[in-house]
Structure 1
Amino acid sequence: MASSTPSRSEEQFLCSICLEVFSEPVSTPCGHNFCKRCISQTWDSSESCFCPLCKEVFSIRPQLKKNTFISEMVSQWKLEEEHRETQQMVKVFSDMESVQRCLDHHTKVMEQSLSKHKERAQALIQQLQQEMCELEKSSTEAQQLSLSTDPLHFLQRCPALPPAGLKDWSSVSFEPQTYEGSAARALSELEAKLEEEFKQLPSTLELRRVQQFAVDVTLDPDTAYPYLVLSKDLKQVHDTDVEKKLPDSPQRFTHYAIVLGKQSFSSGRFYFDVQVKGKTDWTLGVARESVNRKGQITVSPKNGFWTIWLRDGDKYRALAGPSVPLSPQRPPQKVGVFVDYGAGLVSFYDVDSADLLYSFTNCSFREKLFPYFSPCLNDEGRNSAPLIISAVETK
């Protein structure tokens, strides 16, 4: 089996019997380590005491001693896992604070705007009151003039009525900005953002967990369909309309645009990322070593394939025999593939959203498994983008 690339990955701290993180790790005389409970149960159920890894038989049941070094390493590793989860929680609450700052800013802008409208309204009211006073004064003078018996005096005063400089209020409009419902909308936006953050948190943590089992996968040219082109670093593959003259080895697929990974896995857990951006058709997953590589192939778990595909740009299915329609929230640009050999599990993730796309469960693995890639046909250039095995970004 290929080894995991991270030096401190969970793979190093798994008991080879239960495939879980060590609990009370103990060492056998041959130097291998197991959970105390697991090795004790193994020996209790067997007529002889032997190492489950190297099969060395012990004539006398050894006295198991706690492996202090591994125990401390496991404790440290658990703290680092917990640290990453804490960082994720901190990010969520940081986002909450960011939303609160936006809400505070919205409130401040609203208050400043209301203050400006209030000042303008008060100025208009003051001006209107002043003109009303002038009009009342003019009205009083007009009443007095109407009682005058001196025509000359009346004619001299009439041009001054009404008072000069009055504002044409017909052109004045005052429609203060309304904020009805603004607070409710802001709170609704805050609630939606927080709900989305908390909804995404479990899936994000789950993806980060399986990404700790990332392995370095490359393509195997000896298995590649003759129309496929592989990059020099064996990380990219796309289909062409030109058939290459290649030896028809037993490993090569001859009728379908398929290539397998060079690395094989027969235990433990492994994970890899594949970029599918720009493609209208693709198939990804894993295949067992003995799958049919010549002639007609039906891709299903029964025939040794655990895969999902995209067809026609928007039709996603898990090829579970019969196939299962999938409905991702958005078209995945990068797909993560995770396998737990011992648990019989194959899971697919949308790497960008951390959403689980599909899981094959209760699989029966008895052979080596190989990563499976099909960029599908070129389709006259519409599906010419390559599948790219990309480096796993663990945050």
Structure 2
Amino acid sequence: MTSTTITQKIKGIATCFMCRAVMKHPVSISCGHSYCSCCLRDFCNRRVGYSRPSTYNCPLCLEPINLNTVRDNKQLERLVELIKEIEETEDELLCEAHEEQLQLFCEDDGQLICWRCERALQHQGHTTQLVEDVYQGYKEKLEQAARNLNQLQEECRNQKELITTQITEWKDKIEIQRQKMESEFKNFHTLLHEEEKSYLWRLKKEEEQLLMRLKEREANLEQKSEELKSCRLELEAKRQSSAQKLLQDVKGTLSRTCAVKLEAPEVFSLEVQTACDVAELYLDVKAMLRRHQVGVTLDPDTAHPHLYLSKDRRQVSRGYSQQNLEVSSRRFTAFPCVLGCEGFTSGRHYFEVDVGEGTAWDVGVCMENVERGLGMKQEPELGFWAIRLCPENGYAALTSPPTALELQEQPLVVGIVLDYEAGTVSFYNMTTGSHIFTFPKASFSDTLRPFFQVYQYSPLFLPSCNE
């Protein structure tokens, strides 16, 4: 009978009927059968859970159990310890080439070898020692490596906590700044509405940019933490194993674990850069609007035959019909209108029109493909967003139907703001810096161009950005 068979039979004797494993802290009951102490306790507790029995019965023979007679089985516990010793002995590694015990360790190659390997040509001149002589030294090196990894793990954990705190603090500061901005903007005139959105967009971009960097660092630290944990578990398993297993590829293990490094923590500034003094903006509306100002010139190919343009194409007036004009399908023929040369397909743009003390004018923007003949109607549904002054009805926004405008002061210069993405066209009295009118939100899908309609004795002038 082989030693393996004998070991299996001994394990069968020491196996608990309840958990089917080698017993832990075996106890014997009055009928002579033995179980793990915890298995017997759990068995009795489960029985109490169903009903409170007067007696308990052995799971094997069903004989009554007297709990007062349960005793530790010292002999069986010694047998269990003996089984563990036999298994550890059987677990020892043998030399693959010579099937001898690996009792030596070659320092030069970092390998476990047997006495026959030591005499072989490949190990001649190498430093070899008994396993039991080098075991403790390498075990201490592994323990030191484990301590170093534990220290790195703790530092990594601290950095993660700092990053998490910084993310929370950053979000809180952004939220405070956002609430402050929104609260202030709500208390001011309608003309600041678009400026508010602009600042909030910049603040959001600033938040996203730093949050992205913080979260990227957090993810890197999480990955490094898992790497450290894996190395630490590998070292722990190595350190708890037998001498042969501990020394198997021990130098490779030490090399891999010692190569693990933690990058120096990146310093993040949590100061919000986007700030806005709303009161200052309110006091300087003209400067606010002119940050988006574009220069506009007039397009002669679109001008009605009754309109005269200056050489620099910045002034237009109405007169008699001109002869010999170049034929153009882009020219207005029904009404004395002209477009600006500049086309807008995105972004936010501002331009000014000096209307002076003229008694009639139309100014605004329109789609490039609007009707220019007899079927022309100035309505948003047909591609026009403009305001008008006429002697009979005063000021009006050319909605459908027109919206009368009550202005406290006559505008000598009209400011026009187009926000293509927002779908809005707004008008301002640049003489006083006050808001005139904003058209309801639209959805632009084509090029928009400055639009002007010119009346008798009411010329229009387009100031340059520097004027």
Normalising to structure 1: TM-score of the pair? Answer: 0.49
Larger radius of gyration: 2
